[in-house]
Amino acid sequence: MSAYPIVLDGRAIRAVVVGGGEVASRKVFALLSAGAQVHVIAPTISAELDAATDHGSLRVTRATYDPAHLDDATLVFAATNDATINERVAEDARKAGKLVNVVDAPSGGDFVTPAVHRSGDIVVAVVAGGVPKAAARIRDLIAQSIDERYGRAVSALSGLRRDLLGRGERDAWRHASSELLGAEFYEDVESGRLSSKVDRWR
């Protein structure tokens, strides 16, 4: 697969998820956690989805799929347990100029969803040649190293950058980032020294 990775602002996503089972539920909750607006289309839905129907960003239409359901979507997820329906959703999405993910046939869609590790503002996404379990294992290995210490470090650096640039001190940020993100960065994060170094630039 020829892959072009990007990170979308979840708040800009209007996702239509066709399907209401376990796999569809995982897609829905990942989208909601990213801040997306999600519309689920399914005659029946899982207990987990049913319990979440009061979520302000989730809308559920208990109906069989119709192409008109895709009208306001920016992303489409074909996530039923019926390959024929998933193929139809993918075909309709393409005709409508929508990007589509097909859960049971990744090559039949336009994009795949990676295994994701989050630590604060850090997001690490892994794909592994269409083998999701391999991606998850690699993600878990990365997560052992990129832990909450790195999340706190990036939060501190982001705050410093915002403060300095907000005061018009672009040169100060350039010098600070060169020092703070140099060869000692990893050791400073893991030892906890980075926080005090950041404070010196405030």
Give yes or no for a contact between 180 and 154, defined as CB atoms under 8 angstroms apart. no
The CATH architecture that domain 10-113 belongs to is 3-Layer(aba) Sandwich (3.40)
Distance CA 112, CA 15 (A): 14
pLDDT digits (tens, 9 = 90+) for 35-56: 999 999 999 999 999 999 999 9
pLDDT value at residue 86? 97
Question: Is residue 2's pLDDT more than 80?
Answer: no
Alpha carbon 12 to its chain centroid, in Å, reads 12
Residue for token pair 């869609």: 109
Give yes or no for a contact between 42 and 18, defined as CB atoms under 8 angstroms apart. yes
pLDDT digits (tens, 9 = 90+) for 157-193: 999 999 999 999 999 999 999 999 999 999 999 999 9
Segments making up each domain of the chain, as ranges: 10-113, 114-146, 148-199
Per-residue CA distances from 97 to 1, 2, 70, 120 (Å): 20, 19, 10, 34
pLDDT digits (tens, 9 = 90+) for 85-138: 999 999 999 999 999 999 988 889 999 999 999 999 999 999 998 888 999 999
Question: Is residue 1's pLDDT more than 90?
Answer: no
Distance CA 162, CA 177 (A): 12
- For the residues 52-81, what does the mean pLDDT come to? 96
What secondary structure, in 3-state letters, does the chain show?
CCCCCCCCCHHHCEEEEECCCHHHHHHHHHHHHCCCEEEEECCCCCHHHHHCCCCCCEEEECCCCCHHHHCCCCEEEECCCCHHHHHHHHHHHHHCCCEEEECCCHHHCCCCCCEEEEECCEEEEECCCCCHHHHHHHHHHHHHHCCHHHHHHHHHHHHHHHHHHHCCCHHHHHHHHHHHCCCCHHHHHHHCCHHHHHHCCC
Distance CA 194, CA 184 (A): 9
pLDDT value at residue 3? 83
Give yes or no for a contact between 131 and 51, defined as CB atoms under 8 angstroms apart. no
